[in-house]
Chain A
Amino acid sequence: MKIAVIGNPNVGKSSVLNRITGSKLFVSNYPGTSVEKNQSTMKIGGQTLNIFDTPGIYSLNSYGDEANVSRSLLAEEDIDLIIDIIDATNLERNLLLTYELLELGKPILILLNQIDRARSMGIKIDCKEMARNLESPVLAFSATTGEGLAELLQLLEKGINHKRFKLEDVNYQPTVDGSGNEKMPVLVLGAEAACSGNCSNCLTFSKDCLSSADLLRAEKARNLARLVSNKMDARQKIRLEKIQTFIDRPVVGTILLLVFAYLAFNVLLQFIQISEGPINILLAPINKLIEDIISSALPKSLITTILTKAVPEGLIIPFTIIMPAMLMVSFLMAMLEDTGLLPRYTVALERLGSFFGVSGQAIIPLSLGFGCRTPAIVATRIMPTVAQRFIVITLLSIVIPCAATLGILASVISAFHASLLVVVLTMITALIVLASGLSRIMPVENEFIYELPPLRVPLASNVWSKIKIRFSGFFTEVLPLLLAMSIAIRALMESGALEIFRGMEEFTRFLFGIPAEAFVAVLITIFQRYLAPLVLMSLTLTPREATIAISMIALSLPCLPMMVLTVREMGLKSLLKILAMGLLTSFTVGIVLNLILPK
């Protein structure tokens, strides 16, 4: 039996599914990510159930990937049962989707989730009356307490006794919506229709379509909600609600959120620093062992040299620097989601983000980037659209310096008495130019509507399973790729390909005002950031030359792990675009600084 689980965002679909299947497989989807079908199989009383999770949607006819996924799931897979999960505290709005689902003619089981929360808010719902009205079973449920689970499993085992929901015989008149288009509603999914209100098949569908069928469903939803729910006197606000009211205040709340963010950020940095030492110590003998094995197994040659250096490099960096950061960032992001704080950050930072041409949420991954940029790339999944993700990842790759980079920059700047002021100003200018330039090319949706779910105390087990899921991909996908790239880069460097640039003294001096040696150093650190101190320190540079070289290094390409992750998250084409922009930025910075800095 194939079951599709559908419902509004924030109703607790994933928690319900984890309750039903007794597993911890389901995790909330972020909008804008490659939304995949999430499915699980379980056996009940001899029957095998294939359960498909879907991203939260407000309507089947919404504009966007999430609704597309749900619609194609219903069309392509032969779904036997739809489980519609409703937030019992927001009946009227949730019923809009319910009425759309009912019109599909498939058996539906309705779960009134968060019934415990509704009860504590003084809301009482007549499930029997609701079931009678909708001609489908309605179960009061709570994923947190487990209420309703037994009845649900019983129902699933027995099979749903389904009476086909009768479409009302109504004469729909053509109506004119705000844009002047005529719309005549036809309700059944799959029926051919042009401008019929059947949005799923409409070719001119846009986000502004609203037909009288929608308005009719909204009216039915309103009437049913009024009929079956009853609000008694609201009881005393619990502590969490008082905190929420406080945080939602514009000025005070924003300050509080920023303080939290600052503290969380410090925890991240500390964690990275503390864990680096022990991991290094643990890995050192293993690295030596690998080197010895390779050199004794293979004959002395170029390839051996490449491998003996690249393999430890490909392993040390991910483990010492990236992995602790990944772990901590996964933890922080899981907490942000599960507490309900994430959308509040979006709201608080919206103005700041729009200054840079990005959504308020962009501030979060950009800030994380100052700690370590590889997990920051993973954090960009919270961005609402792919275009915005790309902008933020580009900014992370080219402009934002991670803690390691900051350390390197600081030591090199002081060693050569380069101008800190110029470097910092250059970076800020580059950030503003890139951000506004990119958002002009890829216009950002600046009208937003966000539901703010109630604040809640996160479940430790949920947070842990999110961390595990987000983290496991690291070992299976990132590590092998990283190793391969380390070997490739090492091969490039050992082959002496970069040596050609040594002879281009006049060229580099003319363009960038730096000696060819320094330019080679810039190129090397572009590929291997961690070599910067070694390479640059061996040169003699004037402060002016050093300032230019350092600025070119600071604004260039992402490190290898970032490149790997960018390919994984956005594809190779996106990485190539970013690399091109990075090189362009770096060279432009060098040329411009050479022109404007006094000799």
Chain B
Amino acid sequence: MNIAQFEIGQKLKVLKIDGAERRLFEMGIMPGAELQLIARHPFKGPLVIKVGNADVALGRSIANKVKVEAV
């Protein structure tokens, strides 16, 4: 599932990444990583997620490459 489909505050685990996006990897977003959805901007705007102790904003198109499941 995509991150955007979950409720705010939901903790998620990354299953896989579509394609090889190095920048996601550098931020710590890789299979097995734990995330938490913090905010979702309207009109298909950016998502803000927590990775480790850092907040990261993702554009919708790159966020949709991250497939996650609820934890």
Name A residues whose Cβ lies closer than 8 Å to a Cβ of B: 58-59, 61-63, 89-93, 96, 121, 123, 177-179, 207-210, 214-215, 218, 248-251, 253-254, 343, 346-348, 350-351, 446-452, 454
Residues of A within 8 A of B46 (CB): 347, 350, 448
Residues of B within 8 A of A215 (CB): 30
How many chain B residues touch A (Cβ–Cβ < 8 Å)? 34
The answer on a CB contact under 8 Å between B55 and A209 is: no
The answer on a CB contact under 8 Å between A251 and B51 is: no
Q: List 11 A-B contacts (CB under 8 A).
A: A58-B23, A59-B22, A59-B26, A123-B53, A178-B18, A218-B25, A249-B39, A250-B40, A347-B45, A447-B61, A452-B55
Give bound CA distance, A452 to B55, whole Å.
5
Q: Which residue of B lies closest to A447 (CB)?
A: B62
Give bound CA distance, A178 to B38, whole Å.
28
Residues of B within 8 A of A58 (CB): 23, 26-27
Q: What's the least CB distance linking A84 to chain B, in Å?
A: 16
The answer on a CB contact under 8 Å between A351 and B17 is: no
The answer on a CB contact under 8 Å between B26 and A448 is: no
From B20, B52, B61, B62, give the contact of A210 (CB < 8 A): B20
Q: What's the least CB distance linking B56 to chain A, in Å?
A: 5
The answer on a CB contact under 8 Å between B56 and A450 is: yes
The answer on a CB contact under 8 Å between A448 and B45 is: no
Q: Which residue of B lies closest to A199 (CB)?
A: B22
B4 located at the interface, meaning its Cβ lies under 8 Å from any Cβ of chain A in the complex: no
Name B residues whose Cβ lies closer than 8 Å to a Cβ of A: 17-28, 30, 38-46, 48, 51-59, 61-62
Give bound CA distance, A452 to B46, whole Å.
12
From A89, A177, A218, A250, give the contact of B42 (CB < 8 A): A250
The answer on a CB contact under 8 Å between A347 and B48 is: yes
| Known contacts A90-B52, A92-B52, A446-B61: A210-B41 contact under CB 8 Å | no
Give bound CA distance, A590 to B26, whole Å.
51
The answer on a CB contact under 8 Å between B19 and A208 is: yes
Q: What's the least CB distance linking B44 to chain A, in Å?
A: 8
The answer on a CB contact under 8 Å between A179 and B19 is: yes
Give bound CA distance, A179 to B57, whole Å.
25
Q: What's the least CB distance linking B31 to chain A, in Å?
A: 9
The answer on a CB contact under 8 Å between A90 and B55 is: no
Give bound CA distance, A106 to B11, whole Å.
40
Residues of B within 8 A of A207 (CB): 21-23
Give bound CA distance, A214 to B20, whole Å.
12
Give bound CA distance, A58 to B38, whole Å.
22
Q: What's the least CB distance linking A94 to chain B, in Å?
A: 9
Give the most central of B18, B24, B54: most A CB within 10 Å: B54
The answer on a CB contact under 8 Å between A350 and B55 is: no
